[in-house]
Copies of this chain bind each other. A is one copy, B any other.
Amino acid sequence: MLPGMEKRADALQRLRRTHEEVVLATLRAEGPMSRARLTKATGLSRTTLFAIISELMERGVVIESGVADDRPRQRGRPPTRVSLNPDAGLLIGVDLGRRRIRVAIANVARQIVATAADDAAADADESEQADLAIALVRKVCEDEGIGLGALEAIGVGLVGVMDAPDRRWRAVERLEAAFGARVEADNNARLAALAERTWGAAQAAEDIVYVRWSVGVGGGLISGGRLLRGAHGASGELGHVSVDPAGPPCHCGGRGCLEGRIGMPALLDALAAKGVRLTGTDDLLEAAQARTPAVTSVVVDAARTLGTVLAGTVAQLDPERVVMGGDLATLGGLVLDPIRSAIGELALPGTRRTLDIVPADLGPAASAMGAIALVLTGQDPSPPHPGPELL
């Protein structure tokens, strides 16, 4: 294929998807209507529109209803109307976390109708995690009376960089085989960013830095309304920015990575070195909430380090909102204030920019919800997904 031809094929594929989006957006905004009215409303040719409607009907996304338009009845077959199928378009989001499997289920109106979670063994591989998720989905659907016949697509969130196809496809294949639906996967911190933009703290923002600070440090970058993926699916790896090029080696192969300095194990180690022994995340959060001085000082130092790295991110990406998610962000001002102050001191204060640094809204189901956002319009999160309140 000639390069020029390839460009044209790309353009045509994009055009088809845009056509489909316009048809669905019109039905969502204006309700059921006849093909004739849809043709006018969208500017598409009759042939193109009919082909799109046929494909959407085949996929069960839209249905035909016998009700005529509200214009004078004419001879012959009354025109039928096309509408979104309320019993279809079931979307499932699955988050295969380090030790915790979560699922979320959304209806065709993009509303979350159920969420659930289950523990996974620390040494479970992706296949075992996927099996747990499959069982969990089946249980939730049974409990809630949700019919899986209406399943449209499944999104999956995975830990880590998306450049290892074996790992990735093991889980994807398992879910495809179990449910016979389209399955798409992405990094679960990036998916949480997408969820916050769709339903949470980053709605209506176009340029967002999302950070998840828990056991590890991850993130998701949205610029101009688009989730950035990077050339190898590794965009957003804030935890592997080096804060000390001569520092200790990191599991990523680098040195002095932010995650090794401020991830939960590093905080627990720093406290142990001060003689404060805590057994895990909940323990540390509780002690910080109780304002135990040794604990707050370690957390505040870590937040300041994170803020310094984020100041560099802000200088380079110029977001309008930084959304702080993950366990540590639940500590509110204790972590947000040092981050705000580090960014405020370093990130181009001389310009007229505004920047909000806000806590995430969606809690631990964010990645499972983001997996739903992922499959809403395929790999490409732009145009923005309207949240439930826009419907």
Contact A350 B223, CB 8 Å, known A43-B15, A317-B230? no
Residues of A213-252 at the interface with B, using a CB-CB cut-off of 8 Å, are 219, 221, 223-224, 226, 228-238, 240-242, 245, 251-252
Say if the beta carbon of A386 comes within 8 Å of chain B: yes
Task: Assess the A7–B25 pair: CB atoms within 8 A.
Answer: yes
Contact of A350 among B45, B206, B251 (CB under 8 A): B251
Task: Assess the A352–B221 pair: CB atoms within 8 A.
Answer: no
Residues of A146-198 at the interface with B, using a CB-CB cut-off of 8 Å, are 161, 163-164
Q: Which of A66-74, A264-272, A308-316 contacts B (4 or more CB under 8 A)?
A: A308-316
Q: In the complex the two chains form, what is the Cα distance from A309 to B243 in whole Å?
A: 10
Say if the beta carbon of A8 comes within 8 Å of chain B: yes
Say if the beta carbon of A391 comes within 8 Å of chain B: yes
Nearest Cβ on chain B to A23's Cβ, whole angstroms: 10
Q: How many copies does the complex hold?
A: 2
Say if the beta carbon of A383 comes within 8 Å of chain B: yes
| A296-320 vs B, Cβ < 8 Å mask (1 yes, 0 no) | 0000000000001101110111111
Nearest Cβ on chain B to A283's Cβ, whole angstroms: 30
Contact A348 B7, CB 8 Å, known A15-B19, A223-B223? no
Chain B residue numbers with a CB within 8 Å of A26 are: 8
Residues of A121-137 at the interface with B, using a CB-CB cut-off of 8 Å, are none
Nearest Cβ on chain B to A292's Cβ, whole angstroms: 27
Q: In the complex the two chains form, what is the Cα distance from A207 to B232 in whole Å?
A: 9
Q: Which residue of B lies closest to A19 (CB)?
A: B15
Nearest Cβ on chain B to A19's Cβ, whole angstroms: 7
Contact of A224 among B163, B226, B242, B347 (CB under 8 A): B226
Q: In the complex the two chains form, what is the Cα distance from A353 to B164 in whole Å?
A: 10
Size band of the A side of the interface? Answer: 35 or more
Task: Assess the A350–B237 pair: CB atoms within 8 A.
Answer: no
Contact of A386 among B4, B47, B254, B355 (CB under 8 A): B4
Chain B residue numbers with a CB within 8 Å of A351 are: 161, 163, 232, 234, 252-253
Chain B residue numbers with a CB within 8 Å of A206 are: 231
Q: In the complex the two chains form, what is the Cα distance from A87 to B237 in whole Å?
A: 49
Task: Assess the B238–A316 pair: CB atoms within 8 A.
Answer: yes
Task: Assess the A242–B346 pair: CB atoms within 8 A.
Answer: yes
Contact A164 B240, CB 8 Å, known A231-B318, A317-B235, A319-B231? no
| A89-102 vs B, Cβ < 8 Å mask (1 yes, 0 no) | 00000000000000
Say if the beta carbon of A384 comes within 8 Å of chain B: yes
Say if the beta carbon of A5 comes within 8 Å of chain B: yes
Nearest Cβ on chain B to A180's Cβ, whole angstroms: 30
Say if the beta carbon of A255 comes within 8 Å of chain B: yes
Say if the beta carbon of A21 comes within 8 Å of chain B: yes
Chain B residue numbers with a CB within 8 Å of A16 are: 43
Q: Which of A223, A238, A252 has the most CB of B within 10 A?
A: A223
Say if the beta carbon of A37 comes within 8 Å of chain B: no
Say if the beta carbon of A275 comes within 8 Å of chain B: no
Contact of A316 among B161, B235, B311 (CB under 8 A): B235
Q: Which residue of B lies closest to A17 (CB)?
A: B18
Q: In the complex the two chains form, what is the Cα distance from A320 to B230 in whole Å?
A: 8
Pairs of residues from A and B, 8 with the lowest C-beta to C-beta distance, nearest first = A230-B318, A45-B45, A253-B350, A231-B320, A253-B349, A234-B318, A207-B231, A4-B29
7 cross-chain CB contacts under 8 A: A43-B47, A231-B320, A234-B353, A235-B318, A241-B311, A245-B308, A253-B351
